[in-house]
Amino acid sequence: MPANTRGFLYALIATICGSLVYLFSKAALNEVSLAQFGFWWFLIAILWNGMMSAHPKGGFSIAKFTRADYRSLLLIGVFEVVATVSFYAAIKITDNPTVPSFLRNLEYLFVTLLGVWILSERFTIKTGTGALLILTGAFIISFRDAGLSGFMTATAGLMLVSTTFYAIRTLLVKKHIREISPVVLALNRAVFLLLVAVVFILISNDSIIIPRSAFLNILAGSFVGPFLTSNFQYSALRYIPASKAAIVQSTTGLFVLLGALMMFGSLPTHIQIAGGLVTIAGVALMMLKGKAGVK
């Protein structure tokens, strides 16, 4: 299979699996606290990734790691913690998981802007127009009432924090993806987040005993999320530029939209759906650069 085709296939699988994360996590978070959720979600994720690491072809290898590689894992882990905690907090408080899934497209805006700032990539008219569309779509999604305060809900604020840190994480991963394998990155992420969840469990005196239905949702979600999504997302970056993977993954909200209707029997408002479609158009326009653009 050509490398380019393989990369797009991995990105599509990551997108479909990623959409299921919103659904399973929302179902579980309706029954448990964020700390309880994080404890079981990432503990099970470590088990899934651990089994893959134990396989001879699992890709787990740290034998040739340098101190710089370990420092990179530490830095990536810190950004993952802030981004992921904000992400799941947004899912917990939202009425419909489709809303944060559309707002997640802000990440691609920040990836592009950071690329211009840090990597000196070109900022074209097409890029600027795409950025404007993403911001416009985000404002439409976040609109709550006629007042100015309606433009910033708690969900939107948390997703703003989350996507900013995810964007930095993406650039760090892209820089080190040749030295650090996807399964190592996925394990690193799960370990960091499990440790944070344990700390919050101890601070809040939460019990680790949760309802059976919540556990089953976490079991399924941690398989498609921290395991499948993480590995396919990181693997896609080995074969195609982050910009092309972003176009595929920007459609996550559409899959979540269908899933939310089937699982919860609910849809976001018409204006929020319209805003989500605007963000997808913005990502596509921003990432479809001409040959003169920097990949």
Quick one: how far is CA 96 from the chain centroid?
Answer: 17
Instruction: Confirm whether 292 is domain-assigned.
Output: no
- Model pTM above 0.85: no
Establish if 294 belongs to a structural domain: no
Domain residues for the domain of 87 are 3-287
User: Would you write out the chain's pLDDT as a tens digit for each of its 295 residues?
Assistant: 788 888 889 989 998 998 999 999 999 999 999 999 999 999 998 998 888 777 766 666 776 788 888 998 999 999 999 999 999 999 999 888 888 888 888 887 887 778 777 766 566 777 778 878 887 887 777 655 444 444 457 888 999 999 999 989 988 887 877 778 878 888 899 999 999 999 999 999 999 999 999 999 999 998 888 778 877 887 888 888 777 787 788 888 888 888 888 888 877 778 878 888 888 888 788 766 544 343 3
Q: Which pLDDT value is given to residue 220?
A: 93
Residue 275 lies in a domain: yes
293 is a domain residue:
no
Residue that the structure tokens 């703003």 belong to: 160
pLDDT at 90: 93
Closest CA to 43 of 260, 230, 193: 193
State residue 193's pLDDT score: 96
In a domain, 295, yes or no: no
3 state SS of 273: helix
Question: How far, in Å, CA of 277 to CA of 150, rounded?
Answer: 20
Number of domains in the chain: 1
The predicted structure's pLDDT at residue 50: 86
Report d(CA 132, CA 195) in Å as an integer. Answer: 38
Furthest-apart CA atoms within the chain: distance in Å: 58
pLDDT reported for residue 149: 46
